[in-house]
Structure 1
Amino acid sequence: MSESEQLMVVDVSGRPLYRATRQTVHTKGLWHETFHCFVVDLEKGYVLLQQRAKQKKDFPELLDITAAGHLLAGETPAEGVRELEEEIGLVRAFEDLYPIGVFLEELIFPDLLDRERVHLFITDSSEPLHRYVLQSTEVSRLVAFSFSEFARLTEDGTDELVTVGQEIIRRDQFVPHPVRYWRKVNEGIRAYRARKT
């Protein structure tokens, strides 16, 4: 997404206020809306995370949501479903996603003031890892974590996680979402799994 593209500035309840560029939104720390979707494989028992591409402006090469993006001014969360196809080649209708609510997230750094109303979703896919088609400018690879290992992100003292492929990943290799964010996602995954069994 270009820094000049127009986002809708909102209040914390989601009420639209006015349009502003992405650059302005992140410079001034204005609330805006985003779409986050985690892909799980219920059959194999894991969660997929993406490793952000090296050339990404924010948090390059860190592990993050399976697919995510900003909602442009005038867009609804339903239109965010495009991120799944664009980033990892997974085609889904919005109705196929399991909503787990809105999370108010603030990531405050010297060069980034990011305040997002995150619309969170989960979807299931049994596609083998090597079959996903990655958008190289956004995603360098997908990494799988077992449900139990992913749940360890919700614990303050977790310094390392182990992927399904036995790769050790340090906490500082993840985008620094607050622990509360990971807890909300994990609770959503648990509810989704319970609903599907």
Structure 2
Amino acid sequence: MSESEQLMVVDSTGQPLYPATRKKIHQEGLWHETFHCFVINHEEGHVILQQRAKQKKDFPGLIDITAAGHLLAGETPRDGIRELEEEIGLVRQFEQLFPLGVFLEELILGDLKDRERVHLFLTDESMPLERYVLQTEEVSRLIALPFSEFARLTDETAETFQTADQEIIHRDQFVPHPSAYFRRVNEGIQAYRVQQT
């Protein structure tokens, strides 16, 4: 997304205020709305995460949400579903997503002042990782993190995590979402798994 594209500035309750560029919003720390969707493989018991491409402006090369993006001025969370197809080639209808509600996330790091009303979702897919079609300017690869390892992201003392392929990943390789964010996602995974039994 271009720094000049128009997003809607909102208050923390989601009330729209006025449109502004993405650059201005991140410089001034204005609240805006985003779409985040974690793809899980319920059958295999893991969460699929993306490694951000090295040329990304923010958090290049770090491990993050399966697919995510900003909502433009005038858009709703339903429009955000495009991120799944664009970034990883996964086609979904909005009704196939499992909603986890809205999470207020603030990331203040250096010049970046990112205040997002995150519309948070899960979706379940059993396709092998190699079948996903990645948008290479956005995503360098996907990894599968077992549910038990993903849950450890809520523990700020946990420093290393092991993927389903036995790769060791250190905490500083993840985008630094707050532990409360990972807690919300983990609770959503647990709720989804209970619903499936």
> Mind listing any 5+ residue stretches in structure 2 that lack a counterpart?
none
- Whether 1:161 and 2:174 are equivalent positions in the alignment is no
Partner of 1:86: 86
Q: What residue in structure 1 maps to residue 59 of structure 2?
A: 59
Give distance in 2, aligned partners of 1:51 and 1:156: 21
Coordinate RMSD, CA, aligned = 0.4
Aligned residue type for 2:17: L
Q: Deviations over 1:114-162 (max 9, x none)?
A: 0000000000001110000000010000000111111000111110100
Unaligned segments of structure 1, at least 5 residues = none
Counterpart residue number, 1:131: 131
> Which amino acid in structure 1 is aligned with residue 129 of structure 2?
L
Match of 1:74 in 2: 74
In structure 1, the partner of 2:6 is: 6
CA distance in 2, matches of 1:58, 1:97: 26
Deviation, 1:104, is 0.3
Give the distance between the partners of 1:134 and 1:90, measured in 2 at CA. 9
Partner of 1:31: 31
Q: Number of paired residues?
A: 197
Q: Post-superposition shift, 1:98?
A: 0.3
Alignment correspondent of 1:177: 177
Paired amino acid for 1:110: G
* Structure-to-structure mapping, 1:115-130, within 5 angstroms: 115-130=115-130
* TM-score normalised by structure 1 residue count: 0.99
Query: 1 CA distance for matches of 2:111 and 2:60?
Result: 14
Q: Could you give the per-residue CA deviations for residues 46-83 of structure 1, whole angstroms, max 9, x where no partner exists?
A: 10000000000000000000000000000000000000
Which residue of the partner structure matches residue 21 of structure 2?
21
